[in-house]
Structure 1
Amino acid sequence: MPRITAIKKQKREGRVSIYVDGKFAFGTDLETLVRSGLKVEEEVPEETLDRLRRTSDEQKYINKALQFASFRPRSEREIKDWCKRKNVGVIVEKKIIKKLTKLELLNDVAFTRWWVRQRSEFRPRSKRQLKAELFQKGIESQIIDLVISSEGLDEISIARKLLEKQNWKYRNLEEKERRQKQSEYLARKGYDWDTIKEVVD
């Protein structure tokens, strides 16, 4: 039966290396080690070691997902896409989503509200553009409509802010050409004709 011959601290904080029969077997985190009850010189069935390896791998991905989700709010689609890039299995992916949701790091409504406010503050968008961006993030249309409605976005004000940043491009143009260029710009940004007409006029 395999025997634990050493448990050594790794350079990475909170990680240890498990040695079996004098050879490195796998790495794990301290929490998993404590729960397992492994001790040096203890003989352990191969099935137990395999289970511990799987648990350690799962915890490693969960910890990485926690880091990924802590930088900024994430949508569930973003987490699933991250899991796919990391080749995380379906079972572990579900555990990650459950863990992040429990820690309130994963909430599509909160993410949508954060996204809308960030865009409004730093990179203004029309409602149409916001909806397209959020749809790409995997947000359901009902959530998008609810949040955008509750945020009370002023399309006219946002469109004017956008034009103010572009005014230097149009200052030497004749009025007719200026109005045309401004209208085309706002149309590309997703604004409807009524909004464009009011802002440009």
Structure 2
Amino acid sequence: MTMEKGVITRIERLPGRPRYRIYVDDSCRFTVEEDVLIKCGLTKGMAVDPDRLASILEAEEWSRARRLALRYLATKRRTSRELERMLRRKGVSSDHIKAVMDEFRRFRYLDDRAFARDWVEERRARKGYGAARIRRELEEKGVSEELIAEALGEVDEEDEYRLAMEVAERRLSRMQSQPWPALERRLGRQLLNRGFSPTVVFEVLERVRSIYREEEG
């Protein structure tokens, strides 16, 4: 937007929104959010030259980036990479993305370490997912390898076996009518898809096989 020096002749609030039309020399030249209006001290009679206009538009772009980020994080927790991707899709500049993310990390709105830790706990408790699947999910969300390893650090083979057995027992209650070979193949695929290692799946199937045979006998 280019403009010679002019004077703000009118400020008009948009219906139902904290956003304002700014008229320069009786012509609507741009709109700003209320926080930008206050921050830049825009008032009727103020002179606006190209430098001041550039400063106002810079403040408006920063405000937009911050609003987008706050709305995105309001629905659920996100990782730094997820927020960055969203802001880039919305056309936010790299400088503003960095500034927003630095501020949000400072106030702990963004915390990839806490996100990874909570994600591991939630996916294991609610979904019954093994470490491999959780790792893939966190990688897709852009969490660093260091933080993924840290979050999964307390999950050992015993934990994986115990959780896989719980999942298998729930599945078996709905699959009892199937012959063992078909049941074994299906259960094995399901456990692998949930992110349990082949070693853990083999051990679980061995245990389930023995239980199945005892019940048949």
| TM-score in same-fold range (> 0.5) | yes
**Contact 2:124–2:130 at 8 Å: present in 1 too?**
no
Q: Which residue does the alignment assign to 1:60?
A: 64
- Give CA deviations for 1:157-197 in whole Å, capped at 9, x if unaligned: 32233334433552111223322321232123332233113
Report the residue type matching 1:138 in the other structure. G
Quote the Cα distance in structure 1 between the aligned partners of 2:155 and 2:45.
Answer: 62
Q: Which residue, 183, 187, 196 being the options, matches 1:182?
A: 187
1:25–1:167 Cα change, 3 Å:
farther
The TM-score with structure 2 as length reference comes to 0.83
Report the residue type matching 1:198 in the other structure. E
User: Helix, strand or coil for the counterpart of 1:96?
Assistant: helix
Q: Which residue, 187, 196, 210 being the options, matches 1:191?
A: 196
How far is 1:125 from its partner?
Answer: 1.1
Q: Where in structure 1 are there 5+ consecutive unaligned residues?
A: none
How far is 1:2 from its partner?
Answer: 0.8
Quote the Cα distance in structure 2 between the aligned partners of 1:163 and 1:181.
Answer: 11
1:28–1:192 Cα change, 3 Å:
same
Report the residue type matching 1:77 in the other structure. R
- What do you get for the CA RMSD once the two structures are aligned? 2.1
Q: Which residue, 90, 93, 101 being the options, matches 2:105?
A: 101
How far is 1:12 from its partner?
Answer: 4.6
Q: Where in structure 2 are there 5+ consecutive unaligned residues?
A: 208-217
Percent identical residues: 22
Q: Which residue does the alignment assign to 1:25?
A: 29
Query: In the alignment, does 2:47 pair up with 1:43?
Result: yes
User: 1:44-193, aligned counterparts within 5 Å?
Assistant: 44-150=48-154, 154-167=159-172, 170-193=175-198
1:114–1:17 Cα change, 3 Å:
farther
Report the residue type matching 1:177 in the other structure. A
1:102–1:65 Cα change, 3 Å:
same
User: Helix, strand or coil for the counterpart of 1:3?
Assistant: strand
User: Helix, strand or coil for the counterpart of 2:48?
Assistant: coil
Quote the Cα distance in structure 2 between the aligned partners of 1:84 and 1:15.
Answer: 23
How far is 1:117 from its partner?
Answer: 2.2
Quote the Cα distance in structure 1 between the aligned partners of 2:185 and 2:41.
Answer: 73
Instruction: Tell me which moved more, 23-32 or 124-133.
Output: 23-32
Aligned residues: 201
Quote the Cα distance in structure 1 between the aligned partners of 2:154 and 2:196.
Answer: 19
User: Helix, strand or coil for the counterpart of 2:192?
Assistant: helix
How far is 1:14 from its partner?
Answer: 3.0
Larger Rg: 2
Quote the Cα distance in structure 2 between the aligned partners of 1:151 and 1:70.
Answer: 30
Instruction: Tell me which moved more, 166-175 or 96-105.
Output: 166-175
- Give CA deviations for 1:39-88 in whole Å, capped at 9, x if unaligned: 10222212201220121122112111111012222111101111121111
